[in-house]
Amino acid sequence: MTPRLSAVRAVPELPPARIALLLGGLVFLLMMVFGLVMKASQAELLSMDPRLFYEIMTAHGIGMVGTAGLTGLAVLWTFLGRHVDLDERVFWAFMALFLSGVVVILGSIFVGGFAGAWTFLYPLPARSGGVWSPATAVVYLVGLALVGVAFLLVHLECARALRSRWGSLARALGWPLLFGGQQDPLPPPTVIAASAVTVFNTLGLVFGAAAITMSIIDILVAGTILDPLLAKNMIYFFGHVFINATIYMAVIAVYEIVPLYTGRPWKVTRLFAGAWSVILVFVMAVYTHHLLQDTVMPPWSLVIGQVLSYGSAVPLVAVTAFGLLTNLHRSGATLDLPAALLVLGVGGWTAGVMPAWIDGIIAVNKVMHNTLWVPGHFHMYLILGQVAMIWGTLLWLAGGRRSGGFVASDRLFFASYLIGGAGLAISFLVAGAASVPRRWAVHDAAWIVHDIPGVVFAALVLLGASGFFAKSIVGLIAVPEERVGR
């Protein structure tokens, strides 16, 4: 029998993390509007200057990545705070730095005209062909640096708190259990996940900061020449690690909230600890699968990128998906909208692995990587994976668990979001399979047949997400700071 939620200890709700989740939900909606507008422009349903298209594309890309990071970190902070003592002032400092960076970035895009995409690949920021000035590129890079420092600050605080509580990050990762066969007490799933993310995302942020700093120096100091291949490796190492970390942070909500519905704890086993330790290594080693088209890369690195692409998602996704099914099986739990979105998040994350695997094959990558196939797989990862988990967390914090399950509006918004998200991702994949290129503002007449369904599905995603946000903001404003579960 499912326990009464009133008997469950309430999550300690940290005001800055709650604000970050609400802000992230609002920005997700804005980025979805940007995506819908771009797709409508490609479908020739509205007219847009190509320069504006690429500015919106840049804002959409950096906005989604940054907001996924913001909300993922808010989830980590919220639930890790149940297990270790975190200094709330650090998160406030993070918010100040993050928002400052966002303002600087938006100014560089919509005032300065920067349109180099979110990856800021060297030497493009400094060599725009006159589309934007070098000063604008510096402003954009400074904004990125502020955001990066903000994330680094929080990860360092998490590392401090984890070491203070568990003695070392090795113990927080469950390594005595993994390599010695026993550990007492066992770290909870949240602690293991937070420890792994803290390690690899800190390293990724350091590499990203170095690449940004070098790019700024290249612009400001005459005669400076960087190795473009080294810069690209550093940027993609940072980018790959960071965007994966957003999902690995969001899944902590599944570990914490789903057991409240089933009445069963999420068990920590050697397999669970091993999966997180494997992903700790793989998420950093596999980034070269983004560089399969760079024939000047050492062949061994591309082979590693391909081989690890097959295996990198298996440990954690399989263990989490299997653990979720095991936790739900015959539990008698009644899923409501928050729980359904968390379950969808794990399912969407798992499904998103499949097209990513296909693109990770060198022979396929040569043909498909610069097509809409790639936006297909990462829109599936985000809309049906990470972002679904965030909506589930927001809605759960807003109202806890309802014994009645879904109400009519819940069904409408969930169906709209699921159908729209799956349809949009599939429309991208089908277009990619037909070799429709990505990042093109103007589409050939023959490609528009793929764009029209995308507009419809994007509108459905926006409808569902708007409903989730409206429910979340009403609930979060109404829920007292020290609420008890309902």
Taking only Cα atoms into account, the Rg of the chain, rounded to an integer number of angstroms, comes to: 22
Q: Environment class of residue 76 by beta-carbon count within 10 Å: exposed (0-12), middle (13-18) or buried (19+)? A: buried
Sign of torsion over alpha carbons 216, 222, 227, 232 = positive
In a domain, 486, yes or no: no
Structure tokens at 177: 């259990």
pLDDT, tens digit (0-9, with 9 covering 90-100), for 39-56: 999 999 999 999 999 999
Helices (H), 43-133: 50-80, 88-110
pLDDT of 36 over the 80 cut: yes
Residue 389 one-letter amino acid: M
pLDDT of residue 388: 97
Does residue 227 sit within a domain?
Answer: yes
| Low-confidence winner among 167-171, 431-435, 460-464, 477-481 (lowest mean pLDDT) | 477-481
**Is 484 a member of any domain?**
no
Q: What is the DSSP letter of 45?
A: S
Q: 101 is in which domain, residue-wise?
A: 5-478
- Distance of CA 3 to CAs 324, 332, 369, Å? 18, 10, 48
- Please give the tally of structural domains in the chain: 1
Instruction: Return the SS3 of 46.
Output: coil
Cβ neighbour number for residue 311 with a 10 Å cutoff: 12
Q: What's the Cα-to-Cα distance from 362 to each of 4, 289, 293, 314, 365, rounded to whole Å? A: 52, 8, 8, 19, 5
- Looking at residue 449, its pLDDT comes to 95
Query: What tokens does 119 get?
Result: 């990856």
CATH number, position 222:
1.20.210.10
Confidence of residue 399 (pLDDT cuts 50, 70, 90): confident
Quote the CA–CA distance of 428 and 49 in Å, as a whole number: 23
Q: Does residue 168 sit within a domain?
A: yes
Percent of the chain with pLDDT over 70: 93
The answer to whether residue 485 sits within a structural domain is no
| Model confidence band, residue 12 (pLDDT cutoffs 50, 70, 90) | very low
Q: List the Cα angle 102/236/26 in 5-degree steps.
A: 30
Q: How confident is the model at residue 479 (pLDDT cuts 50, 70, 90)?
A: low
> Per-residue pLDDT tens for 196-221?
999 999 999 999 999 999 999 999 98
**Cα gap 296→62, rounded to integer Å:** 28
pLDDT over 90 (residue 222): no
